[in-house]
Amino acid sequence: MPCRTKRRNREVWLGQIKFQGRTYQATFQTRRQAADWESAKRKELEQETRTPTPTGTGLLDFFNQYLDHSELRYTRKVFKEKKALCEELTERWGAILAQDVTPEMVNSYLHEIGRSKSANRHNKDRKNLLAMWNWGSKILDLPSNPVAKTEKLPHDRAPQYTPPTADILKVLAAANREERIFLNCYLQTGARRSEIFRWTWAEDINFERREVRLGTRKTRDGSMSYEWLPMNEALYEELWSWWKTRPVKDTPYVFVSTSNRHYGKPFTTRRRFMRGLCKRAGIKEFGFHALRRYCASLLADTHKISAKTIQRILRHKNLATTEKYIHNINRDLGAVMDLLSEKGCHAGLSREVEEG
């Protein structure tokens, strides 16, 4: 029932109702306005109690749970990629339930990315979203996967640059001793960039058996997968020499930073390393992965090693991946690894540089 009261030294009509233990008030100029407000407010509150609260997993909560899962399973680069996608979609779709995301919403987003960015970005985001909702269906019992009905865009990959042997020689010649040993670890194994960064003396280098261990997270569940490869004579000599003369001896890692800021810590990116070496050598710039492609091409083109054997060295799960590295389509791995050193095109360069 409205009543008269004073607010800021003037008389007003106070509308007031109590509902489920809470009091709601508002002031008006006339009694009629206050009475009408009381009636409308009570109906509004009664209607709210009759409307069921939506049940399900909020989109933001879904994204946060998936990112917690991803941070433990994937590399830092992949995690950041997934996090950026979640942040973009949270801003785009707002505070809705995960199960309310429709194929049309996903398709609209992907088409926009395909037009404004690239087909490659479209397919990458689609892959991440598909993995996200597959996880949500399995762990959070989401009723459906709206990404499953979307399709990949055709995408023609530009051929990746593989440096010629002459440029590899120039880079090695421009490198100092520490840089040359570091580079030869890639040239004698065909390793991925992070695999050498992770090397530790105790777990990954076995001088007695003359083997090195390489590990990757390129697995279905994101766990580490390791394989041992024979250590050819050149790599054995390089690593044994480095073990005896390494500048930082109180670290388990094979290669670490000697800068003041990161002293004794293992490398994670070394973005400027290859760029600086290529500039010093006066050649076209290439990165760590180009060294991996170079190893594959050297074995395939120069030594006519089969794609199946090169697949074992590069540790690809699928032969089709290996064939992207080489254009040709039979030896024990120990003998094959020697081809990357003494019998390879960059044979004996380390000795030549040191002697000359």
Same domain? For 277 and 333 the reply is yes
Report, as an integer, the average pLDDT of 203-208: 97
Report, as an integer, the average pLDDT of 287-297: 93
Same domain? For 185 and 290 the reply is yes
* Number of domains forming the structure of the chain: 3
Domain assignment present for residue 155? The answer is no
Domain assignment present for residue 253? The answer is yes
Report, as an integer, the average pLDDT of 65-70: 94
Domain assignment present for residue 144? The answer is no
Closest CA to 133 of 118, 144, 121, 122: 144
Percent above pLDDT 90 for the chain: 55
Domain assignment present for residue 146? The answer is no
Q: What is the pLDDT of residues 228-256, one digit of tens each?
A: 999 999 999 999 999 999 999 999 999 99
Q: What is the pLDDT of residues 1-46, one digit of tens each?
A: 788 887 777 888 888 888 877 888 888 888 888 888 888 988 888 8
Domain assignment present for residue 149? The answer is no
| Confidence (pLDDT) at 271 | 83
Query: Range of 29's domain?
Result: 3-50
Report, as an integer, the average pLDDT of 149-177: 89
Domain assignment present for residue 242? The answer is yes
* pLDDT of 356 above 60: no
Mean pLDDT over all residues of the chain? 87
Same domain? For 240 and 327 the reply is yes
Same domain? For 285 and 240 the reply is yes
Same domain? For 229 and 344 the reply is yes
